[in-house]
A and B are shown apart, each in its own frame.
Chain A
Amino acid sequence: MSAKQQTSGLAMIELILFVLLVATAVVVARLRDLFAAVMLTGIFSLVSAGLFTLMDAVDVAFTEAAVGAGISTILMLGTLSLTARREEQQPVRLLPFLVVILVGGALIAGTVDMPAYGALEAPIHQHPMYNEFITGTEQKVHLPNVVTAVLASYRGYDTFGETTVVFAAAIGVFLVLGGRRKKSAKIDGGTP
């Protein structure tokens, strides 16, 4: 297989994944059955993870698959079992719809300015730190995975902050949902 055939094959897979992504998003927005919607958001994350893998962003794909398709699906299902399975019919409101269209349009207009995917003249490849990260990781940190070196060493402060955010999120859930679970298992009854 020639290099050109390979590229067009990859582009074909990317096109299929993007079509799947858009189709899933539209179906999720229109579904009234919340159980199916939660499952489809999991599939949405999995398709995004596939796209990230194709773009060589394996670490991001990893996170998307584990968090988006894994944990958040389970938490949504847990929430669902506390409420109802179906969304009630809501009247169509014009103003929120217009705001969504406007913001979405602005976001798409913003991407027009972006450099082409993989372009060498893109600002990230021209940045003075670019060489430091690539060669510095080799010499000073000596790790094959540049992403880990940048996250844990060069940007250690930021990752510390991110971990603190996870910590704060857990504390927030503690505060909102009222601390440790009461031992209510006995009252529940109905055990076989």
Chain B
Amino acid sequence: MADSIITGIPVATGIAIGKAFFVNRSHAANLPRQTVAARLVGDEIDRLHDAFKTVVQELAAIREQMPEELKSHGSLIDTHLMMLKDPKLSGAAEEYIKSLGLNAAWALEKAVADQEQAFGAISDPYIRERMQDVRVVADKVQTKLMGVEVDMTAISGRAIIMAHDLTPADTVELQADKIMAFATVRGGKTSHTGIMARSLAIPALVGVEKLEEKVKDGDLVVLDGLTGRIVVNPSEDELEEYNERAALFETYSRKIKRQCHLPAETFDGSRVEVLANIELVEEVAAVLDNGGEGVGLYRTEYAYLNRKELPTEDELADKYIDLASIMSPRKVVYRTLDLGSDKYIASFGELNEANPAMGLRAIRFCLKNPQLFKVQLRAILRASAYGNVSLMFPMISGVKEVRQAKAWLAQAKAELRREGVDYDPDMPVGTMIELPAAVMIAEYLAHEVDFFSIGTNDLIQYSLGVDRTNSHVSYLYQPLHPATLRSIKLVVDAAHQAGIEVSLCGEVASDPYCVPILLGMGIDSISMTPQAIPGIKRIIRQTNMHDCRKLLRDVLECRTVSRINNLVMDNIFKHFPEEVTFFSSLLENDELPT
């Protein structure tokens, strides 16, 4: 048995086996806390300033040697340098050594705590987050003071880099050819670590909370970027098993990647469009690399977050036009602003709603703030002149909402026409189906729009009444609940009855177990994270529409989720025994709490 198995959020897929190598740790928890004799206070102050000076010199040298492709991160290093030179940090630490006789590392920790308090009071989330930068530079100085420094150039072969957090400066110093994987305590799905790992094509996990506690330098670890697991000091058997798994995965991913540009067509000749969900224009490279046939969901929130002022129409149009023209003639579906709930715009502030998931968000927020809405509609319309652009509204609950949203769109068109600005007058307009109410009236909504896009993540949560991030009830988040399946089927049928297309853009679309059922329903396109496309395309290319329809019929007769899951899994085990070990599925959630 392994010493321990810990988990994190996978941000880059693959399996790596190697020696743990810590490049930076947060020192706050295990800082030496001593007092210094009065006669040594002067020396301790010198030690503090020397440590600051060394870190400044090292960082300045890194800044100097930064390769061209990472230059955009230069300004972050400049910020770190200014913080290191800031008397408010080093000077405050010096004061603590002088007045309280603390050792340098502890004194610096107190200076950091003072800053934490100052930053904590700021309402601008962007500025508040800069506290993380203060933490990063303080950690670097404390590393020097404690003499626990790691020589990154000493990394030998097959290293799995572990860190509290990885900064762009850290990644510049690392030698890419010797690194097998990354794991960090901090960070979310969109962190720098994930971007780095994907560009190096190595697996990575972030948010591994117990990393510093459970893993020691030099431990043999298996990092599974498919399941999000880190196995610490595995047994002989486990090691052999993972070695085999890694080799198989390697072969498998090479094979599916080679075939990813082939169309997603079943044995018996049915075509499904396989599209990508993206958030940044930069992701188009990944879309095209992975065989994406277009963008089925462009989330437009990013441009509105972490800033004080709203983006201007020109700023948005620049981005939107870039995306439309790079992807042209492939389709790009722009979803209008889906803010509120968990994400909100700084200039509007938090809404303080008791229940934000049912609050003023998405289309509701836009209809309440038509000026903001129209700026975005105009920018999307302008992009429509440059490519194959569609637009869709999120969180629609009724016919009136769609009509209101379309009225603003018509007004934006009229304005542009008067101003002589080009746009595509026939740009398709769709609505997302995320609310049970929208499902029930899909028949009516279908007459208002050109296409549907089913957002299953929200639809499942709203119809089952389950917040999947709430660990008390997350076991009830069941993508293949009979209610979910009937909802999807109802929407697909209503769309086809009215002669419009229907797409699906939730995580279900990239779940290999669920895809055959979606095919059976006759869905026209599915949209998913770019990295999932090759695997899903392969599944589609190896199935028969006839079998999918049969599976769907069987599944629709089941009364319980476990029966459905069993049927679906049997189907996959039967047809894809080879791949099955590499799938991570939403269905594995199916266990009752004890």
Tell me whether A and B are bound partners.
no
Chain B residues within CB distance 8 Å of chain A: none
Chain A residues within CB distance 8 Å of chain B: none
